[in-house]
Structure 1
Amino acid sequence: MTDILDLTVVIPVFNEQETLDELHTRLVAVLEKMARPYEVIMVDDGSTDGSFETLCRLNSGDSRIRVLRLARNFGQSPALYAGLSKARGRYVLIIDADLQVLPEDIPLLVAKLDEGYDAVSGWRADRKDTLFRRAASKLLNRYIAGVTGLSLHDYGCSLKGIRRELVGHMVDFSHRCRYLPVDMAMLGGRFAEVVVGHSERTRGNSKYGMLKLVRTAFDLITGITDAPLRYIGLLGWLMSFGGFAMGIKVAANRVIYGNVNQLESVVALFFFCSGVQLVASGMMCEYIGRIFIEVQRRPYFVVAEER
C-alpha cells in the first residue's frame, strides 16, 4: 500500500457485527468510484458480538482495511481518536458503522475539502430520529455554537471530513473530555456544512439510550466551558437579592398587619433555595470530578492489537 494517500476513513465500531459487511461493500464501492488512494481504519471498541472477527475477515480480504482493537470499551470518542492517531490520508473522513448516515455522501464532503475548507460537517436535514432526540440535539447545537462561536445546524452528525493538518493538532490534545466537533471548532479554520441523508436504523440496537444521551449532554455542558459555574454565581446573587427582598416584605407585613402566618411562604422559599443549592453543589462536584480524572493521567485509549 502506498504511503501517499488521499483519503482515510475512520470508523468506530462497537457491537455492529450485523452491519459491517454491508458497510464494507457500500463504502468500498464509493471509494473505488472516486479513484483516489485510500485506507479505511476500523476501530473495535471492545465489542462482544463478533464484530472484531468480522473486521479481521474484511482485513484479510482487503489490504486497504486496517483494524485496531482497543483493550476494552473506552467509548466512541476514544475510539475515534485512536483511529485519527493512525490516519495517513490527506483528508480524514469519519462515519459511524450503523449505516444511519450514508457512505454514498462521502464525495460531498471531499468536494468541499477540495474547495479549500479545513473541515466539513454533515447536516441531517431530514433526521429519522425521535422528537426527543431532535429537540435535545437542537438545544445542544445552540449551546455549542454559543461556546465555540461556530454555528452549525448539526454538530452531532457522525459524517465529517477534516484536513490532515487539523487532525494532527487534535490528536495532540491532552484533555479527557473530548468531543470531536467541538475540538474541530476550537482550532479555527474554514468550516463548511453539507446536507446529507439519514436513514432509520434497520439492524442492531442504538448504543445511545436515554441515560447515555443525558450523560453525554451533561458532559458537553460541563466539559467544554466553565460558563455554568459563572451562571450559578449569578443565580446565587439573584437569589440573595430575592431572599433579602422577601425578608423585607415579611417584616413589613408583620409591622403593618400584625403577626401574620407566613409559614407557607417560608417553606416554599426554603425548598427553592435548597434545590438551587443542591443543583449548584452537584455542578461544582462535576467539575471537581473532572479535575480528579485529569490529574490521574490515565491513557485515553489503549490499542491492544493492530492489523
Structure 2
Amino acid sequence: MTPELSVVVPLFNEEDSVRPLYAALIGALEPLTVPFEIVFVDDGSADGTVPLADSIARADPRVCLVKFRRNYGQTPAMAAGIAQARGAVIVTMDGDLQNDPADIAGLLQKITEGYDIVVGWRHQRQDKLVSRKIPSRIANALIARVTGVPIRDNGCSLKAYRACLIKKIPLYSEMHRFIPAMAAIAGPRIAQLKVRHHPRRYGKSKYGLSRIYKVLLDLMVIKTVASFAARPMLWFGLLALPMVAIAAAAFGWTLASLAARGTLSLPIAGCGVIFSSSAIILIASGALGELAYKLGDLREHEFAALTERVLGALPHQPAGARP
C-alpha cells in the first residue's frame, strides 16, 4: 500500500535515540489511521546508529533506511529523505527526541485545512540561552526582514509539506531552514503551529555558533534569488548600464583625441574595450537568465498547482503487511 504520509528523520550518531524515537513515532502515527512510512537517513554515523536503524527497517516494512557513506550534513540528509519519500505529505523532524512525534497530528490537521506548509514553533524551547536561543532569535528576525516571510522559528525541523511542493525545491548547504522562504515564490499557504520541545536526553548537540556564517551566506543567496529570479534581464541590464556609459565616454575621448592630435590613447581605449566587453557579458547573462526563467515557466503549473487532496481515511498499514 502506498503511504500517504512520509516522516523523514535525519540521524547522526543517535544510537541511544533510535529505538525510543521509533517507538514514539509508531505510537503517534498508528492512531492517525493514515498509511504512513518512516524514512530514516543516516548521515554517516560513527556509532551504532546504522545497525539499530537497519534492524528496525528489516522488521517493519513501513520503515526505510537511507545510508550515507560519510557525514554530509543535515540538509543533504533531509534532501535524500525527501527524494525517497512516497507520501503526498512529508513531515521532517530531528532524530534526537527533542521534537515530539505527538505533534505530527496537529501539523496534518493544518494541512487538511488547506495549508501547504506547516512550520513548528518551539514556544518553550529547551536549549541554552546564549549559544542557541539568542542567535536563533536574531537569525529569525533577520530572515523575516530579508525574505519578507515572517516565520517565528525557522530552525525548528518539525514541519509538514505537501510533497508536490517540497520535492521541487533544491536543498543544499544549510538551506533546509529556508524552505518556507524559498517556497514563498510559488505562493503557498503557510501556517505556524506551537509544538513541544524536549531537553536533549542523549549525546551532544551538533549545532553551534559556527553555523551562523553559513546561514548568513545562504540568506544572501535566498534574497538574490527572490529579488532577481523573475527579472534577470532588468537587473543585469542595470549593472551593465554604467559600464556602457564608461565605455562610451572612453571611446568618445579616444576618437576626439585621434581627431584633434592624431594620436591614439591606448590606456583609455583599452579601458573602453574592457568596460564594453563587461557590459556585453552582463547583457548576455541577463538574456540567458531570462531564457532559463521562461523555460521554467513551462513547468510552473507543476510547481504551483498544489494538490488539495492529501490525506484519506484509509487504515494504517499493519507492521507485518507487505506493500
Q: What whole-Å deviation, never above 9, does each CA across 1:149-187 have from its counterpart, x for those lacking one?
A: 1101111111000001112211xx2x7445124233222
Contact 2:76-2:173 at 8 Å conserved across structures: no
Match of 2:203 in 1: 204
For residues 137 and 209 of structure 1, what CA distance do their matches in structure 2 show? 11
Contact 2:120-2:195 at 8 Å conserved across structures: yes
For residues 106 and 11 of structure 2, what CA distance do their matches in structure 1 show? 23
For residues 96 and 173 of structure 2, what CA distance do their matches in structure 1 show? 24
Contact 1:148-1:182 at 8 Å conserved across structures: no
**2:67 aligns with one of 66, 69, 92:** 69
Match of 1:32 in 2: 30
Match of 2:175 in 1: 179
Match of 1:161 in 2: 160
Deviation >4 Å, runs of 4+: none
TM-score by length of 1: 0.69
For residues 126 and 204 of structure 1, what CA distance do their matches in structure 2 show? 21
Written as runs of structure 1 = structure 2, the 5 A alignment for 1:74-153 is 74-132=72-130, 133-153=132-152
Q: What whole-Å deviation, never above 9, does each CA across 1:9-59 have from its counterpart, x for those lacking one?
A: 000000001000000001011110111000010000000001011111101
The verdict on how the C-alpha distance between 1:225 and 1:185 changes in structure 2, with shifts beyond 3 A counting, is closer
Report the Cα offset of residue 208 of structure 1: 1.3
Match of 1:19 in 2: 17
Contact 1:10-1:94 at 8 Å conserved across structures: yes
For residues 24 and 160 of structure 2, what CA distance do their matches in structure 1 show? 18
Match of 1:8 in 2: 6
For residues 169 and 113 of structure 1, what CA distance do their matches in structure 2 show? 18
Match of 1:303 in 2: none
For residues 190 and 147 of structure 1, what CA distance do their matches in structure 2 show? 19
For residues 168 and 93 of structure 1, what CA distance do their matches in structure 2 show? 12
Q: What whole-Å deviation, never above 9, does each CA across 1:96-132 have from its counterpart, x for those lacking one?
A: 0001111111101000001010000100011111112
Report the Cα offset of residue 205 of structure 1: 1.1
Written as runs of structure 1 = structure 2, the 5 A alignment for 1:257-272 is none
Percent of paired sites with the same residue:
37
**2:40 aligns with one of 39, 42, 52:** 42
The verdict on how the C-alpha distance between 1:29 and 1:176 changes in structure 2, with shifts beyond 3 A counting, is closer
For residues 164 and 181 of structure 2, what CA distance do their matches in structure 1 show? 14
Matched residue of 1:78: which SS? helix
Report the Cα offset of residue 143 of structure 1: 1.3
Aligned residues: 221
Counterpart of 1:149, as a letter, is G
Counterpart of 1:108, as a letter, is G
- Larger mean CA deviation between 194-203 and 217-226 belongs to 217-226
The verdict on how the C-alpha distance between 1:158 and 1:63 changes in structure 2, with shifts beyond 3 A counting, is same
Structure 2 segments unaligned to the other structure (5+ residues): 226-323
Matched residue of 2:223: which SS? coil
Structure 1 segments unaligned to the other structure (5+ residues): 228-307
Counterpart of 2:180, as a letter, is M
Matched residue of 1:187: which SS? helix
For residues 50 and 223 of structure 1, what CA distance do their matches in structure 2 show? 37
Matched residue of 2:168: which SS? helix
For residues 178 and 207 of structure 1, what CA distance do their matches in structure 2 show? 13
Report the Cα offset of residue 221 of structure 1: 4.2
Match of 1:240 in 2: none
Report the Cα offset of residue 222 of structure 1: 3.9
CA-based RMSD:
1.7
